[in-house]
Amino acid sequence: MNLPTGEHLPGRPYLHGRELEDLAVSFLVLVLLFSNFDPYDIPYVLVAVLTAFIFHELAHREVARRYGYIAFYKRWDAGIVLALLIGIFTKLLTGNTWIFASLGAVHIYAPYQYWYDKEAYGKIGLAGPLTNIAVGIVAIVLMRLLTHFTIPWYVLRATAGVNLWLAFFNLLPIPPLDGWKVLRWNTGYWAIAIGVAYLLRAFI
């Protein structure tokens, strides 16, 4: 089993070594993409991407480790290059960046389990999008309490939008996205989750 630098064992919640580097690289690339490569928009999307991406991946990681699995985030270099090429090309062509969000994933190993546990993997898959939905709801509520078109309001708007977009994207029932794992485990939970993620975007 090839693990990144450092010990990635259940019960070791902290981030270090290669995993921290992979999260940081993926985070910075997503900030560029969601800011539409506009330096003036970067401050508004920093909080959005932090809550949407980092919280999403840590939720997968935490639930997996609660099942006793070895779990750690690993970036996908080909996906990062593809995302940047698509983003730059569409920005030049249309003025708007198309976002390819598959920059990496939480890798899970169950060294003492020799079968695929649909429920465990379904709950692990659902943890990330549910975290995005929860953050999106909080951001929408806070938006309603603030004066419109202020800096905090724009930050919350971006936070709600990015979180709910990532929740919906990741719940698409396409391997290897989270939605495929959730659908294989429980069709009802998958339908509710992707429906809520889609509908909540109307409140932004």
Write out the catalytic residue numbers: 57
H and E: helices and strands count for the chain = 8, 2
Q: Are 176 and 121 in contact (CB under 8 A)?
A: no
Q: How far apart are CA 61 and CA 163, in angstroms?
A: 18
End-to-end CA distance of the chain: 44
Range 31-59 burial, b when 16+ CB lie within 10 A, else e: bbbbbbeeeeeeebbbbbbbbbbbbbbbb
Residue with tokens 């029932």: 173
**Residue 170: which of 59, 32, 37 has the closest Cα?**
59
